[in-house]
Structures are given as structure tokens and as C-alpha cells.
Structure 1
Amino acid sequence: MLRSDCLDAAAAWFDEGHFFDVLQRRVALRTESDSGKPNPALGDYLRGEMTDSLRALGFACSVLPNPVEGAGPFLVARRVEDTALPTVLTYGHGDVVSGQEGRWREGLQPWELVREGERWYGRGTADNKGQHTVNLGALASVIKARGGRLGYNVTLLLEMGEEAASPGLHAFCESHRAQLKADLLIACDGPRVHADKPTLFLGSRGAINFSLRLRARDKAYHSGNWGGALLNPATVLASAVASLVDARGRILVPALKPRALPLLVRRALADVDIGGGEDDPLPDAHWGEPGLSTAERLIGWNTLEVLALGAGSPQRPVNAIPGEAVAHCQLRFVVGTPYQDLAAILRKHLDRHGFNRVEVEITLTGAATRLDLDHPWVGWAQRSIGQSSGKPVVTLPNLAGSLPNDVFADLLGLPTLWVPHSYPACAQHAPDEHLLAPVAREGLRIMAGLYWDLGEPAGLPWHAAPAAT
């Protein structure tokens, strides 16, 4: 069978309704992981749905416990043709965020796959059940087209806690290095830059969440009787936040900004347009770091966001000076940012500006990664995706969002290629999450092309080491 025949077979699998049927089963499993409570459906998804599908493709499957008590298990599935052959590692997650029942529009609910034209609605359709269903469907097409032999080995790691910040993932991969040993990661998550533009990204921005809190006193006091005599923690905290990021979204703490935008990153982002989709918001031209394009600010730079503010009773304000105030914030950052020192950086900055009573608490941390844009695997993937889709490939140095890619890039030492099968307005994490059928269908062809090309004997940089920029 020719490469083109294999890609046509992958698309036919979609057109004949098989993709819909598989995704329908997977969406129906209520695999929420962000409730803070154990959920038996997390294990059921691996032991039933995924194990059955993978064994049919020749994988040996092991469902293994999470080293973090109460967190979802892991699936390690290995398809070994010859231990002397190179190995591709792929990754996905079967957990989803809260279904948010009752908030979806009429006719939709989170645990039922509903098809309305090109939009297929249901929790996990975009993040991440639909995406790993694309990858595995494409792999199945290549296995069949090549008569049962790929010419390389495949290992799949599927976790069930990504939406809860991947508890136990680092420790699990550290203790299972031998099972996860590979030469390359190809995985799927996140959105394309636009529904019509095949996208390749090479890492992700990091994220670190932190809270600023000022506890002035144990209770509130009447604003008429005590206003002007008592420190107002909300006023002070608002000023503290304003010393970190200004009214135009510009970071004011030099240690929290990248030293520069690397030339290769600037070149890669030169022709990347952000937004323009039907449901995309309009970027604010004068928000964020001056002198940068929207793509550069979003993908190549750091941003400091205020996620929530709390003081008093916002739902029903009363005439009282609140006893305390809190600001929940987040720093999204690129490679090279000293995020491990964030608490000390903030403490020094706040003290210098007179906010010594403001407490700093780090609540969540994820590292930034970025494969070298000149790495041989990048050019290989661009050529393969371009040939399969017939379109230019948008290559991002890193995703603007965050993924646990440091596990693969840093801990396991792999070159990392991510090929997303969603789009920016998919409503992931929100009511009415959906997958675009044309993107999924094209994704099947793209992934079938990648898996096919990996089996070609010549010209593959299997032993090229990863390099971060």
C-alpha cells in the first residue's frame, strides 16, 4: 500500500462513522479528575475502554497505581516489534474537568456526544479524549497498511490527572524510566493557532500560580466609624498588585521578564496570526509588553495575570472595612525564567515597595520547555505534516498554555513534537466543549502520515539529542 492509500484509509475510518462511535463511548465515561475526590471512572477508562482498544493493536498494557494516594492511575502500553528498533513515546490524558451539568445550552450535556454539523459536543471531545482518539486511529491505519509491522516500537503513556495538575506524573516517570525509554515523543494536546492551520509546537510555556494575601485584623469594622483610621487591606493589596503589573498588562519586575526574544523564536512567530476565528476574542493591540506582536507576547514572552480578587462581600457589599484581602495570580513564562525563585523575587520586590505585610504563597508550579527550532526532528515533522495536509505548517516554539512536557523533555530527555487537533474556540474547560469534525479528520491524515514516515528506513534523525533554547 502507498502512503497516500494509508492516509485515505484513515480518513475513510472517520467518514464511515467509526471515529464517532469510539469517541461516543469515551465521552460517556465521567472521568472528572478536578473534584478533589477519588473517581472510580478514572481507572475504568484505562482498564476497560483503552486497554481493550490497545490490545487489539498489539499493545501489552499495564494499569499502574499513582504514587500519590487518591490520584488517578496510569496506563503504560507497549508495542514492541524488536528491542533493537527505535521507540516512539506518545502521551495523552483520559481525565477531564468538571462536566458542569446544567450550564450547557439546551440540547447538550457533557456526557453525551452530540453532532451538530461540523461541531461535535461533549466533555473531553477537544481535551483530550478526541485528540488521543485521533492519534490511535491513525496508528491503527498505519499498522494495517503495513501488514502489521511499523518498523519501530511504540509506547503510550496515558494519565488520568492532567486536569488536576498531573499529581504523581513526575514521580511515576522517574520510577518507570525503563518502561518509558524512547527516542522521540509525538503527542497531542492544546489547540491549533486557527482551525484551518495545521500546527506543530515544540514545548510549552510554564505556569506558576501564587497568592498574595494581607491579613490586617480578624474581622471587618464599620467604614463610617473607622474609615480613615484603619488600614484597608483591599486598598493596600490593589497597590501591591499594581506594583507587579501595570494597567496595560506590562510586567514591572525585571526578574520576571525574559532577557530577550531569541532571533529564531522571532522568525518563527513573524507570520503567525492570533485570533480571527468565528468565536475568538479580538486581541487588545496595546496590552502587554510594548514592541512585540500579539504572537510574540502570547508565545514568546511572559505574562502576569490576576485570576481572582477577594475582599469583603462582593456579592452583597456592606459598609465595612474588610479584615483581609487576597489576590490569586499567575505567571506564564518561557524557558530561561527563574521561576524556582519566584517567592524570593516577589518577597524582595514587595518589601522594597513597602508591602512587607503582604504574604506570598506559591500554589502550583509547572516548568517551561522548548525544543530547538533547528533540531532535525522539527524539519522532518514540518515536511511530513505539509505533505499530508497540503497546507503550510505553523510551527510554534512553544504552546502559549502549559503542559507537563518537562517530564518528557527534561526528565526523560526526549525531543518533543506536539500536533494539536483542536482549535482556539473549542470551549475546553467550559460548557459546550466541542471538536471540529474537519480538524479531527485532517488530524487523522496528518498523524497517519507521521506514523507512516517514521517507518521509512532512511533519513530519520533517531539519535539526534534534544536541545532547549
Structure 2
Amino acid sequence: MSRDQLIQQARHELDSGALAATLARRVAWRTESDLGADATEASRAALQGYLSEEMSPVLQALGFEVQILPNPVPGAGPFLLARRIEDPAAPTVLTYGHGDVVNGQTPQWRAGLDPWQLNVEGDRWYGRGTADNKGQHSINLSALAHTLQARQQRLGYNLTVLLEMGEEAGSPGLAEFCQQHREALRADLFLASDGPRVHAERPTLFLGSRGAINFSLQVQPRPRAYHSGNWGGVLSNPGTRVSHAVASLIGPQGEMRVAALRPPAPPERLRQALHDLPVGGGSDDPDLSPGWGEPGLTPAERLVGWNTLEVLGLGAGSAVRPINAIPASAVAHCQLRFVVGTDWRNAEKHLREHLDAHGFTDVRLEMGMSCAATRLALDNPWIDWALASMQASTGKPVSLLPNLAGSLPNDIFSEGLGLPTLWVPHSYPACAQHAPNEHLLASVAREGLALMAGLFWDLGEPGAPWRAGALAQATA
């Protein structure tokens, strides 16, 4: 079978209805991992069952040896580790996905939709996990099955699959698991799918992700509220203090004011990669805010090549039914998204020093979750190889995204395991992941099948840069 015939067969997976049937079965698993104290025995069992009952038989049928392994973090979701070894001396690809999803939010879905049932409406396939991430790893494994068939069950390289069941809860235990099983996860290339394309019509390759740090600013000068008429003007207002503390961090047009947490200027190679990158413009995308963000940068540079500070939540008193009282406390929940080169490990120190220098010694700083920024070096030979393969499969130009604007646990693979990382997303920005009415576009899924079949095929061809210097490259 030729490469072109393989691409046609892979697309037929969608045209025949086979992919929809597979995804309908997987969406029905209520694999919510972010329930916290609301988790039940049934929800915990679903995380285990998705791996043991749904995914293990599929991978075993493709020639993988499969293990379901516990999480090093007590109570966190299990892992699936599957290995398909054709030759111990051959190179190895590591691929990854997650079978867990965010909570269903059933009451908020549009009438006629159910998060645990695949509903097809034209190009849109609705259901929790269709975009993040059940649909994406289903596309990849379907493309792999067709490639194996086309290659008479010989890829020419080894393949390892890692599935986790806690990504939506912050991937607890993933780093520890990868270190514990470092030998079994040893590979030469990381290739996976998550996150969105830059646009539904633009096949996309991204090489890492921005990092993220969540933190809160809190003020509580006294244990209870006091009447604003009797005490206004002589008691400090926590809402006012927190608002001004936020304004010291973020300017009125969204520009960062914490000098120590600003990134280095985008390098010229990065600016070239972002030159024609579209931001927004889709039918469901919001209109961009003119003049918002760092001055002197394009929208793509602000989104992908720069740092942003965002307010995620702001509270003081009762916003729903305010009363005539100075509130007892106020809080602002904030997030820093940052690129490679940011001094993020000292973020707490930099924030504290900035607040103190601006007179906000009364503002308590509480740090939350964090993950590192990553980006494969832009001269890595795997990049041009992947772009050429993807263009050959679709006949379309491919957008190169040096790093995803959002965040993924990519540092565990790029830094922890030392791998060059390639991500080929099969979703799009308006997919409503994490929200009601999450959906996958069938047109993007069909193209994703072709993209991944082409990549799996080309990895077995002589032109793959297994020994052309890519393995020695470190992440930027």
C-alpha cells in the first residue's frame, strides 16, 4: 500500500462512521477527574475502567503489551503504559493522551445535548471529552491502526503509549511516574495531540507551551464587616486595597508592570515563526480588543511569545446583593502565563518585593499551582520534517506555533525525559473545552486522521531524522 492510499483509508475511518462510534463509546465513560471532595466511588471506578476496559483491549489488538499502573500520589487517577517493541535496537516514539475530563456541567448544556452522549449536528460532534482529549487520542490510535495495516504490521520503529487519568486535575503524580518508569518510557521522539489549532482551517504544529502560575492576593484587616456610613473614611477598605494592588501589577490596557517577571524580547527566529500566524477570525471567536496587551507586539507575539497577567476572579462583600458595609476581606485570584526565559521559579519573591515596594505590605500573597514553560529549539531538524509530512498529507500550509499559548505538562517530557516534543492538535479555539457544549469538528478530525497516518508512515521512512542531530538537541 502506498502513502496516498493510507491517507485515503485513514480518512474513511471518519467517513464510514467508525470514528464516531468509537468516540461515542468513550464519551459515555464519566471520567471526571476534577471533582475533588465531590468524587464518588463510581467516578473513581470510571477512571480505572476507561483504561482497563476501553483502552487496553484496543492497544493489545495493535500488538502492545499493556500495563495499568497506580499513581504514586494516593487517590489520584491511574496510568496506562503500553509498549510495542519491534526491535530493541530501533528508535522509539513516545505518545501521550489523557482519558480524564473536567466535570460535566450537565445543567448548563444547551437543550438536546448531554455531556455523556455523543450528539452529531452537522460538522460538530458534541460531548465531554470530544475535543479534550478523548477525541484527539482516538484520532491518533485510529491513524496508527491504519498505518500498521498499510505496513503489514511493521512500523520500522518502536512505540510507547502513555495515558493518564488526572490531567484535568493538574496531572498529579505524572512527573513522579515518569521518573519511576524512566527506562520503560525511554524514547527518541515525543509526538502527541492536545490543545487547539490556531484556526479550524489551519493544520498546526506546536513545540511546547507557556508555563502558568496561579496566585491570590488577599486582604483581611478585621474579622467582620462594618457599616459604611458609621465607619466609612476611617476604616481601610479591603476591596479598594486589593483593587489597587492588582492595578500595580497590571496596567489599564493589560500590560505587565512587574519588571522582574517580564520575559526577554522575542528572538528574531520566534518573530519570523509568528509572522503570519492568525489570531481569532473564526465564526465563534471573540473580537480582539484593540490596543490590549504589551505595546509594540503583534497579537500573535502577545499571545504566544510574551507573558500575561490575568485576573481570574475578584471578590469583596456581596456582588449579588451588596449591603451598606465595608467588607471584612477581599481577594483577587490571578494567573501568570509565561514563556521560556522568564524567572518563574522566583515568582513569589518578585511579586512580594513588587507589592511591598508599592506600599501593599498588608496584602497577603498565596501561591498556587505552577508548571514550566517549554519550547523545542526552532532549529531542531524534527520541525521541518514534521511540517513537510503534514503539508504532504493535507496539501495545506501548516502553522508553526513555537509554543501553545495555554499550558500542558510538556516539561515532564521535554525536560524530565529529555525528548524533542511535537504536538499536532485536532481541536480549534472555539471548541468549548472545559465549558458546556464542548465539541469536536468532524472536518478537523478527518484532517487529523490524515495528518497522523502520514506522520506514523513517514517515521518509518529513511528521511526521518532519527540520527540527523535531532536527538542531541535540547529544548530552548
Give the TM-score normalised by the residue count of structure 2.
0.98
> Which residue matches 2:348?
343
Structure 2 SS opposite 1:142:
helix
SS in 1 for 2:311: strand
Say whether the 8 Å CA contact 2:130–2:438 is kept in structure 1.
yes
- Rounded to whole Å, the distance in 1 between the matches of 2:130 and 2:395 is 25
Match of 2:132 among 118, 127, 130: 127
Alignment of 1:172-191 (within 5 A): 172-191=177-196
In 1: Cα distance, 2:356 partner to 2:260 partner: 15
Shift, 1:259, TM fit: 1.7
Deviation per CA, 1:169-220, whole angstroms, max 9, x where unpaired?
1111111101100000000000001111000000000000000111111000
Structure 1 gap segments, 5+ residues each: none
Pick from 202, 205, 209: which aligns with 1:204? 209
Select the residue among 363, 366, 374 that pairs with 1:361. Answer: 366
Kindly state the Cα deviation for residue 460 of structure 1 after the two structures are TM-superposed.
2.2
Equivalent runs, 1:75-90 vs 2, <5 Å: 75-90=80-95
User: Which residue in the other structure is 2:475 paired with?
Assistant: 468
**Distance across 2 between alignment mates of 1:164 and 1:305:** 20
Structure 1 residues 74 and 50: CA distance shift in structure 2, 3 A: same
Q: Which residue does the alignment assign to 2:121?
A: 116
**Which of 389, 396, 404 is the matching residue for 1:399?**
404
1:324 aligns with 329
Alpha-carbon separation, structure 1, partners of 2:457 and 2:280: 32
Task: Note the 1:84-99 alignment, pairs <5 A.
Answer: 84-99=89-104
- Runs of 4+ aligned residues of structure 1 deviating over 3 Å after TM superposition are none
Question: Structure 2: how far apart are the matches of 1:148 and 1:118?
Answer: 33
Range with greater deviation from structure 2 (412-421 or 307-316):
307-316
* Alignment pair present for 1:2 and 2:2: yes
Residue deviations 1:424-449, cap 9 Å, x none? 11111111100000100000000000
> 5+ residue gaps in structure 2?
none
Q: Distance in 1 between matches of 2:431 and 2:389?
A: 26
Q: Counterpart of 2:3 in structure 1: which amino acid?
A: R
Q: Is 1:311 matched up with 2:316? A: yes
Deviation at 1:27, TM superposition (A): 0.1
**1:61 counterpart letter in structure 2:** V
**Contact between 1:372 and 1:468, CA under 8 Å: does it hold in 2?**
yes
Matched, 1:253 2:262: no
Q: In structure 1, how many angstroms separate the alpha carbons of the residues matched to 2:169 and 2:236?
A: 37
State the Cα distance separating 1:104 from its structure 2 match.
Answer: 0.6
What SS does the corresponding residue of 1:403 show, helix, strand or coil?
coil
**Letter in structure 2 aligned against 1:253:** V
Partner residue in 1 for 2:293 = 288
| One-letter amino acid matched to 1:468 | T
> 2:378 maps to what in 1?
373
Per the alignment, in what secondary structure is the counterpart of residue 197 of structure 1? coil
Q: Is the 8 A contact 1:64 1:73 kept in 2?
A: yes
Aligned residue identity for 2:313: A
Contact 2:458 2:464 in 1 (8 A): no
The question of 1:57 aligning with 2:50 is answered no
CA distance in 2, matches of 1:391, 1:289: 32
Per the TM alignment, residue 458 of structure 1 is displaced from its structure 2 partner at its CA by 4.0
Q: How many residues were matched structurally?
A: 469
CA contact (8 A) 2:188 2:466 kept: no
SS in structure 1 at match of 2:335 = strand
Aligned residue for 2:23?
23
**Any idea what SS the aligned residue of 1:178 has?**
coil
Match runs of 1:392-431 below 5 Å: 392-431=397-436
| CA RMSD after TM alignment | 0.8
Q: Which amino acid aligns with 1:3?
A: R
Q: CA deviation at 1:459?
A: 4.6
Aligned partners of 1:32 and 1:53: how far apart in 2?
Answer: 22
**Kept after mapping to 2: 8 A contact 1:248/1:287:** yes
What is the aligned partner in structure 1 of residue 145 from structure 2? 140
Asked if 1 retains the 8 angstrom alpha-carbon contact of 2:208 and 2:423, the reply is yes
Q: Is the contact made by 2:270 and 2:305 (CA closer than 8 Å) also made in structure 1?
A: yes
Can you list the C-alpha shifts for 1:66-125, whole angstroms capped at 9, x where unaligned? 111111000001111110100000000000001001111111010000000110000000
- Give the drift of 1:422: 0.5
- TM-aligned CA deviation for residue 457 of structure 1: 2.8
Q: Conserved in 1, the CA contact under 8 Å of 2:91 and 2:466?
A: no
> What CA distance in whole angstroms lies between the structure 1 residues aligned with 2:394 and 2:290?
32
Quote the offset at 1:316 in angstroms.
Answer: 1.0
C-alpha separation between the residues in 2 aligned to 1:283 and 1:55?
47
